Amino acid sequence: MVTFLGFATSVRRRKVVDRMTATILSSASESRKRHVCRVLRILRSLDSPAVYSTFPVIESMIRVFCTVLAGLLGLAFGSFLNVCLSRWPEGESVVKPRSHCRSCRRTLTWWENVPVVSWVALRGKCRTCGAIISWRYPAVELAIGLLWATVVWQAGAASFEQFIVSEKPYAAVFSVLLKMSFLWLLVALAMLDAEHLWLPNWLTIPGVVLGLINVIVGMFSARRYSIVEPGLFIAAFDWAGGVIAAAGLILIIRWTYWLIRRREGIGLGDAKLMAMLGAWLGLSGALFCFGIGVVLGALFALTALALPASRRDSENWLAAKLPLGTFLCIGGIISALCGQPIIEAYKRWAGF
């Protein structure tokens, strides 16, 4: 069995050598040629099935290590996001002063700032004044940590060889970092809309720009287009059409509701959020997010309506506002992680 695995892996590694040789012949950069030659010498020196059989183990270890590292970084950036979520609505700086209790204003010690662990150790209360620490703090930290770990795990699903033989290895890493930033933005917008019914322009509009950068990086790293090819302009129009159509869907619903009820039903922030989702996920992905958001919003409304308190105050409940942006962000997270397989499966089922 070991011999078979060694032979199979050996064949795969020799294919890598062939690909890297082709890279040398087509590369215009002398520094790149020298780098690939060094890797080639290392690979050819390991011409043993027993050695070859260890490569899958090494790749798995690297994948697990990077996933754990991304998860830990996610916890740290989730903790920073909690600071932002507490201070942005108040117009406060996210840098100064240091983290403190929002009730008694006491500056927190280092061990009270450890993501998730501190909340559990303190049992969700300030150790000085006993004020309740919201469940949002560990929830956001865990969400960012798990999402970032998932992104890195998915990125390494095929093989880490792509980072060795690719002519643009940094583009692949940059794409992963962009996707992590996108998920960070979605969690931030979801919590801001849930707590304050607020989707700030200075988060959604930069999110659209990041989506454009992500598309450009993806196209050029895959060498699909050059700067003078007409296909690039077609892709640009396709991207812009997806952004406009996604935002236009919300605007049409907003205007229709205003014509019928003569009052606002959906805020403009939701339209900008849909534009951001269209920029990142395309029109089909944005429509998938919208579908998930509508279903989740309806389920939330029906659940709230079933509560006795809601039935006693039915008039106020009918006028209550629901955070559609939160549900759209949840749909965006699902679509970013596993939306494309779901859409493709639906197309096959529907016969498209």
Per-residue pLDDT of 281-321, as tens digits, reads 999 899 999 999 999 999 998 887 777 665 555 556 556 77
Instruction: Give the pLDDT confidence score for residue 81 in this predicted structure.
Output: 96
User: Is the domain of 250 the same as that of 339?
Assistant: yes
In a domain, 172, yes or no: no
Amino acid 266: pLDDT = 86
User: At 48, which amino acid appears?
Assistant: S
pLDDT in the model for residue 278: 95
Range of the domain at 48: 1-53
Asked if 222 and 344 sit in the same domain, the reply is: yes
Q: Whole-structure pTM over 0.85, yes or no?
A: no
Is 149 in the same domain as 200?
A: no
Are residues 211 and 346 both part of a single domain? yes
115 within a domain of the structure (yes/no) = yes
How much is the pLDDT for 308? 66
Cβ contacts of 93 within 8 Å, gap of 6 or more:
87
**217 belongs to a structural domain:** yes
* Rounded alpha-carbon distances, angstroms, from residue 320 to 261, 302, 309, 323: 15, 13, 13, 10
Do residue 333 and residue 280 come from a single domain? yes
Q: Are residues 159 and 224 in the same domain?
A: no
Q: Are residues 207 and 298 in the same domain?
A: yes
Among 348, 337, 327, which Cα is nearest to 153's? 337
- Six token digits for residue 169: 């290895």
Angle, in degrees to the nearest 10, between helices 268-306 and 324-350: 90
The verdict on 139 and 238 lying in the same domain is no
Answer whether residue 59 is part of any domain: no
Instruction: Examine residue 56 and say whether the peptide bond preceding it is cis (omega within 30 degrees of 0).
Output: no
> In this predicted structure, what is the pLDDT of residue 24?
54
Quote the number of domains for the chain: 3
pLDDT digits (tens, 9 = 90+) for 243-253: 999 999 999 99
Same domain, 117 and 221: no
pLDDT of res. 31: 67
* Domain co-membership, 288 together with 252: yes
Residue 41 falls within a domain, yes or no?
yes
Residue type (1 letter), 145: G
Q: Are residues 248 and 352 part of one domain?
A: yes
178 within domain boundaries: no
Query: Are residues 76 and 32 both part of a single domain?
Result: no
Which parts of the chain have pLDDT scores under 50? Answer: 1-9, 164-165, 224-228
